[in-house]
Structure 1
Amino acid sequence: MTPVTFDGCFGWLHRPAGAQAEMGVVLCNPFGYEALCTYHGWREFAEALAARGMPTLRFDYPGTGDSSGHEEDPQRLRAWLDSIKTAATWLRAETGVTRLSLCGLRLGATLAALAAEELGGVENLVLLMPVSSGKSYIRELEIQHQSWLSAQQALGLTPDAEAAETIGAHGFRLYPDSLEMLAKIDLEQGVQCPAQRVLLQDLNESARLKRLAAHYQAQGVQVDLQIFSEYSRFLLDPSYSETPGQAFDSALEWLGASAGTAAGTAVEMRGCAATARIEFAHGRETPVVFDGGRYAGVFCQPLRALEGAPAVLFVNTGGVHRVGDGRFTVLMARHLAAQGIASLRMDLSGLGDSLRRDEALTLDMAYARYAVADARAGVDWLVAKGHSKTVMFGVCTGAYVSLHTALAHPAVAGCASVNLPFFVWGGARTRPGAQHVASSVVYRRAMRNPRKWLRLLTGQANGRAIIAELTRRLCARITARVSTALERLFGQSTPGGSVRRIALELERKGVRTALMYGPLDEGLDELEIHFGPNGSQLGKLRNVSVKVVGKVDHALFSRAARDAVMAQFDAFLRESVLGARRETVAPNPRLHVAEVPQP
């Protein structure tokens, strides 16, 4: 597979080995958070198509993923449709295919169907869980957002309102002009024949699906219906999403892909053409493949570099690929470029587009064994590009990787860790469907609320899970205090003192380190266990600081949270890493970066 760019869009071309192929496939992403959840599975589907002789292109729509633009740019939905048509034209020209198939998931399936109607000449159309009614999808997004808001408010966090007249969920929004166009979409009302053959996969053969099938059949289309039974395990938190092998195999068979050629096929990642790049107002981005084709990333370079500034390395959050929740790392990288600072956002091994070291490894094992070594390779690449110093940045598990990479690599001059869940890797403490256990602050507040006691006593809250986690935290707190006392008395290291030694080593190395937390983040418990409330004991160190940032949720799903963290990182770079250096740079108001109050 090879990273490619065309017309401001970033994508990956999966070429088959062997003879010239006739059929090419364009994959059309779902919208927003669903695109993050399904990213790895979508890549595996593209690999399977290519292994069976079909050149396949997957790409990011304008204003999404690594492509150029912003979600608030005008007429995004129209731009997405046009980009699918451009992708089809580019695939034909690049690979020489003469036959075309479009395959989309959720809103991507809807866009694929509409683009096929406008394109004409599409042979196969694969619609996985298509959104047949735009109005219904808008309502679904609003329900998702309200559900998330309710969950945050139950914890005691009230996120700021999102932009007026926008609708979306989990860090992604649709704006008024796109909503107006989306509300008019009804696939059952289409008048153009989209393709010769259509495959519809859905949870069941609902009345809605049968009506859509009948509509296409009335236009002379050969239509087949299949059940997408693995949907609920695919559209899941990116850390737990499972590739729907049965659904994809059914689609491959329907497309007439030759069987038996994909087993054991090794995926090779190749570097891009020298002309592949994404241009934006204050810089340009280049897809990079490094360390012998193991890692994938995007290098963001400013048009006007700030002399003496370090580069920034962004690493993954959980199972999310390099763009980050809410596309945060893309926006931050381009914001930093406006200030003259270069950055690399990379995928750790087995995440996003980087290759797996071991197919048998779980996500937890990959982080525990390889993530820090992966990030060190990213720092090495930046050093080789002429950036002698690097600042690490990560959220949640990425915060852990950033902290330990700062300890391990001499070229790391600074580290910003946001919502660090733990200082020493102990594996994820939650699993799909598990009862979430909140910050201890939440439970201390809840003890004064009779309604919370009623929920606990009536079984509406999982008291056993809550008690088990709070007990673990109490034991950890006691262990940390005993370890401190023993080390002071006898001067010998103890296992419980390992976290304190991390902070002391960062101080000794002179690595400027900022630990940032939302006011109700669970990571504050770990911080308090080892360093007192809000990390008060770290105040004795010159190079390590703690900041509790209001309105910040754990995954930075709200725009206000992303703006606040971006502003805090700006201040950290300016005051701690750049030595209070203040340069006049071209602002980028479209990023809506909040101002940090000056002390």
Structure 2
Amino acid sequence: MTDVSGVQGVPTWFGPEQSRLFGVLHVPEGGVARAGVVICPPLGRQYQDSYRGLKLLAQELCAKGFAVLRFDYRGTGDSTGNQCGDGAVDGYVESIGTAVSYIRAAGVESVCLVGLGVGALLAATAVEGTAGLVLWDPVTNGRRYVREQQALYRMTVAAGESEDLPPETGAVPLVGITLSAAGAKALGALKIPASVGSIPVLVLPRPERADDRQLADLVAAGNCTVQVVSGQPEFVEPPGIVVKIPLDTLAVIASWLDANLPTETVVLQPVFASDAEVGELPDGRKVVESITALGPNRLFAIRSAIAGAPDDGPTVLLHTTASDHRVGTGRLWSETSRELAALGVRVFRYDRRGVGDTGIATDEYAWITSADAQADVMDAVDALAVAPDRVFLTGICSGAWNSALAGLRHGARSLVLVNLPIYSWRRIDGVNERLWGVADFAAGDSEQPSEQPPALARAKQWVKNWLPYRGWLILGRLGYTQVPEVLFKSLGSRGLSTELVMSPLDYGWFSDHQGPIGFKRLARHGLAPRLTVAPGGDHAVLHRGLQNFIREHLVNAVRKEFADDL
């Protein structure tokens, strides 16, 4: 953590010891900066989708001489705090102030805020005392935002919701984040102020929101530049797993900051912290998270463990989904890591190359099951440096397949594979992208869309309906179809204790691909995994009740597997 130069950024914990925030500080070459920029991210699913784009923006600004801080609000991402706490929104606003104070303490006095989506609303609320403000695709009315996100959640994620899988009592689930009723009310009370004083302001609305009345009032107050930008839906509301970063908008922001912030440089002296206390047990022991790197490509990772836990003890490795970074959908992996660590196991969550905080961000899509991605999986599990019988692997969707790959090649005590849609070992490169219908279906569409010609779709359906199972199995072994028996026979033959956990939607996919037949055949040889179908939920695990179900299920599974060690 001693090299503070370069655009990649240095991860750190900062803020009060009792409520540490996670951030990444990008320090210009030579350790000098002309001004500071604090990037205020959106919330929920938009936070995950925009993560790489905001990192790319930070890199561009750093190259222009700005010290840039990306960070997670209290109760979100890797920062400490409860996302469902009644004071969550106050915590967001206070976190911005803490971020500004941190970057100022490093040596820069002039600090500008850049807020995206609802992050722009939060930045405008916390803007006092800063040198400038960029409102990128801004949410101007918190009440409207909460209503829209609730409606989207109900229509997609919670469609057909089961009474057996409710969220917490009094919780208000949005898409990718869950607030308490008080938190939702507090967020709903926020509005973009009509004036932010004398500081320069850049407003970047999407075309359909350019005539927003509250933005008009802000512009009328003066010292405000407005430029309509395109490409926002593909960036923060992508229809599938591929996020397109609006490079032109990044250039506009960089150019505006270059013209409106000081040019005189100062020497930076930032303070970096690689460890943070994130919890305390009843007996006074501390749960500590440590920033670390795994393998030869230095995959960014966070280790959660009780202070002083042995390095050769029971270890859990969490694999990410699609292009999400280590936090997980709905913050599932951050919260699960801390709960599992309190049991006495070590837990690692990490970013593969091209994702999150591993390496330099680019606008290139990081293919999910590429050769590089598979290499990263093996590097991560090898870097744990513990015996296979001390390793517990889990992940969702492509993360589940990565867990299976690591278990097959490295060995493991146990695997819990959640919403696994891929059952092949061959022809795997790009298979997630080819199974585009699964990705779109995960977003909540009532029917799986298909890009296939009707004749080909009918032919495939005929094969499913009429081809004998042995013929179907041969196609699966060749990698032309997804046949559950292929993957699970390999795992069973390896002697791995495996469980498949699925939402009802994923069980439908599993059944459509002859999963029940394959599992009956495996059971005759003692190779069938355990099978658990959740009462409800969605493929992408945006459903809050399913998040809680999976977290509890994993905690119980780890407690059972390592009962003699905990």
Aligned to 1:453: none
Aligned to 2:382: 380
Aligned to 2:224: 223
TM-score scaled by length of structure 1: 0.79
Q: Does 1:145 align with 2:133?
A: no
RMSD, matched Cα? 3.6
| Correspondences of 1:341-380 after superposition (within 5 Å) | 341-355=345-359, 362-364=365-367, 366-380=368-382
- Partner amino acid for 1:413? R
Relative to structure 1, the CA distance from residue 547 to residue 433 in structure 2 (aligned partners, 3 Å threshold; closer, same or farther) is: closer
Q: Does 1:87 align with 2:99?
A: yes
Q: 1:501 deviation in Å?
A: 5.5
Moved more, 166-175 or 498-507: 498-507
Aligned to 2:410: 409
Question: SS in structure 1 opposite 2:30?
Answer: coil
C-alpha separation in 2, matches of 1:504 and 1:348 = 27
Relative to structure 1, the CA distance from residue 25 to residue 330 in structure 2 (aligned partners, 3 Å threshold; closer, same or farther) is: same
Moved more, 302-311 or 20-29: 302-311
C-alpha separation in 2, matches of 1:14 and 1:536 = 54
Q: CA offsets per residue over residues 463-520 of structure 1, 9 Å max, x none?
A: 9778855753653683751276999xxxxx8768996454344233322111111223
- Partner amino acid for 1:249? A
- Partner amino acid for 1:399? A
Aligned to 1:47: 59
C-alpha separation in 1, matches of 2:489 and 2:13 = 45
Contact 2:501-2:532 within 8 A present in 1 as well = yes
Q: 1:74 deviation in Å?
A: 2.9
- Partner amino acid for 1:472? K
Q: Does 1:109 align with 2:113?
A: no
Q: CA offsets per residue over residues 230-249 of structure 1, 9 Å max, x none?
A: 11111134721111111111
Contact 2:149-2:175 within 8 A present in 1 as well = no
Contact 2:229-2:249 within 8 A present in 1 as well = yes
Q: 1:72 deviation in Å?
A: 1.6
Aligned to 2:253: 251
Moved more, 500-509 or 228-237: 500-509
Aligned to 1:69: 81
Aligned to 1:565: 550
Contact 2:192-2:214 within 8 A present in 1 as well = no
Identity of aligned residues (%): 26
Aligned to 2:109: 98
Contact 1:528-1:535 within 8 A present in 2 as well = no
Q: Does 1:551 align with 2:536?
A: yes
Question: SS in structure 1 opposite 2:407?
Answer: helix
Name which structure has the greater RCO, CA cutoff 8 Å, separation 6+.
Answer: 2
Q: Does 1:277 align with 2:276?
A: yes
Relative to structure 1, the CA distance from residue 19 to residue 553 in structure 2 (aligned partners, 3 Å threshold; closer, same or farther) is: closer
Relative to structure 1, the CA distance from residue 292 to residue 197 in structure 2 (aligned partners, 3 Å threshold; closer, same or farther) is: farther
C-alpha separation in 2, matches of 1:222 and 1:433 = 47
Question: SS in structure 2 opposite 1:363?
Answer: coil
Q: 1:196 deviation in Å?
A: 1.5
Aligned to 2:38: 26
- Partner amino acid for 1:285? E
Q: CA offsets per residue over residues 304-347 of structure 1, 9 Å max, x none?
A: 85998521111110111111111111111111112111110011
Q: Does 1:162 align with 2:167?
A: yes
Aligned to 1:204: 207
Contact 2:492-2:527 within 8 A present in 1 as well = yes
Contact 2:488-2:528 within 8 A present in 1 as well = no
Aligned to 1:595: none
Aligned to 1:330: 334
Q: 2:433 aligns with which of 425, 428, 435?
A: 428
Q: 1:574 deviation in Å?
A: 3.9
Relative to structure 1, the CA distance from residue 476 to residue 381 in structure 2 (aligned partners, 3 Å threshold; closer, same or farther) is: farther
- Partner amino acid for 2:384? L
C-alpha separation in 1, matches of 2:115 and 2:488 = 48
Q: CA offsets per residue over residues 211-268 of structure 1, 9 Å max, x none?
A: 53544553xx51100112111111134721111111111111111169xxxxxxxxxx
The total of aligned residue pairs comes to: 529
Aligned to 2:463: 475
Contact 2:96-2:123 within 8 A present in 1 as well = yes
Question: SS in structure 1 opposite 2:77?
Answer: coil
Contact 1:24-1:54 within 8 A present in 2 as well = yes
Question: SS in structure 2 opposite 1:3?
Answer: strand
C-alpha separation in 1, matches of 2:241 and 2:316 = 24
TM-score scaled by length of structure 2: 0.83
Structure 2 spans left out of the alignment, 5+ residues: 1-8, 261-270, 282-286
Question: SS in structure 2 opposite 1:370?
Answer: helix
Q: 1:181 deviation in Å?
A: 2.6
- Partner amino acid for 2:321? T
C-alpha separation in 2, matches of 1:288 and 1:496 = 39
Aligned to 2:185: 180
C-alpha separation in 2, matches of 1:107 and 1:168 = 16
Moved more, 497-506 or 373-382: 497-506
Q: CA offsets per residue over residues 264-304 of structure 1, 9 Å max, x none?
A: xxxxxxxx956532422241111113335531111111248
Aligned to 2:506: 521
Question: SS in structure 1 opposite 2:275?
Answer: coil
Contact 1:10-1:278 within 8 A present in 2 as well = no
- Partner amino acid for 1:177? A
Q: 1:11 aligns with which of 15, 18, 23?
A: 23
- Partner amino acid for 1:127? L
C-alpha separation in 1, matches of 2:436 and 2:402 = 20
- Partner amino acid for 2:204? Q
Contact 1:304-1:340 within 8 A present in 2 as well = no
C-alpha separation in 1, matches of 2:511 and 2:236 = 33
C-alpha separation in 2, matches of 1:306 and 1:562 = 29
Q: 1:375 deviation in Å?
A: 1.4
- Partner amino acid for 1:510? G
Relative to structure 1, the CA distance from residue 361 to residue 79 in structure 2 (aligned partners, 3 Å threshold; closer, same or farther) is: closer
- Partner amino acid for 1:197? P
Q: 1:48 deviation in Å?
A: 0.8
Q: 1:142 deviation in Å?
A: 2.0
| Correspondences of 1:450-465 after superposition (within 5 Å) | none
Relative to structure 1, the CA distance from residue 246 to residue 6 in structure 2 (aligned partners, 3 Å threshold; closer, same or farther) is: same
Aligned to 1:537: 521
Contact 1:435-1:462 within 8 A present in 2 as well = no
Contact 1:239-1:363 within 8 A present in 2 as well = no
Relative to structure 1, the CA distance from residue 175 to residue 486 in structure 2 (aligned partners, 3 Å threshold; closer, same or farther) is: closer
Question: SS in structure 1 opposite 2:94?
Answer: helix
Structure 1 spans left out of the alignment, 5+ residues: 259-271, 444-459, 488-492, 584-599
Contact 1:413-1:510 within 8 A present in 2 as well = no
Question: SS in structure 1 opposite 2:540?
Answer: coil
Q: CA offsets per residue over residues 333-362 of structure 1, 9 Å max, x none?
A: 1111121111100111111122379x6964
Relative to structure 1, the CA distance from residue 176 to residue 503 in structure 2 (aligned partners, 3 Å threshold; closer, same or farther) is: closer
